[in-house]
Chain A
Amino acid sequence: MKATVLVRPKAGILDPQGQAVESSLRHLGFAVGTARVGRVVELDVETDDAAEARSEIERMCEQLLANPLIESYDIELHATT
């Protein structure tokens, strides 16, 4: 089963990278309010059981993929055909 993990700076946490992107976009003439920059991790996990995959990936996030002090994460599972 394939999965996408989105790791984001938590709400309220200063995101200097997002601010730099935001200001560059404005310089290019785009009407941007705010930009926040996170990280995408694409995974291929062995199991085809969605619940099992989700709990496994949650453990990956807690241990390595995200730092819970500053980052939140979302897990999207994609059914393989």
Chain B
Amino acid sequence: MPYDPGDDVVVIHQPREGAASGTFRAFAATLKGLKMTFSRAVEGTTTIGYPEEKTPVYPRFRGRHKLHRFEDTGLEKCVGCSLCAAACPADCIRVVAAENTPENRVSAGERYAAVYEINLSRCIFCGYCEIACPFDAITLGHDYEMADYNRSDLIFTKEMLLAEPLERTPLRTPDE
């Protein structure tokens, strides 16, 4: 008795032989695909010309740290309490405090940070330092362009953290 698969087998019908259907089979699917390609081509570019253009970041993006000053007096907000260093899970902050004197008043409190260094090659940008800070002296900004050629250049000092972010990424000049 010949083998009868019964309902278990689905019979597939082969396309019919012929020139017109053969041509259709050869090009139609490709054209369908190209239709999408050409329709997107007229929409214009969607990539961004980094570094001349930059992707906007979310408001709570955690980028490079900033230290702040009081706007009215110009004194540093940081009192060198080292709580950020205590909170830091990557152990990348080093603070050495010193005492303010009437002649040399740096911060608003009794002490100030004589040395404030963040090793950005270690930092994991968790933002704990910002949470730990009792004086809102450190915040994580939106600057993320920190690549450098030298590890030691990634240790940011207090002066660098107090200053506005540097334009670090080389840009193409207009005549390039």
Partners in one complex: no
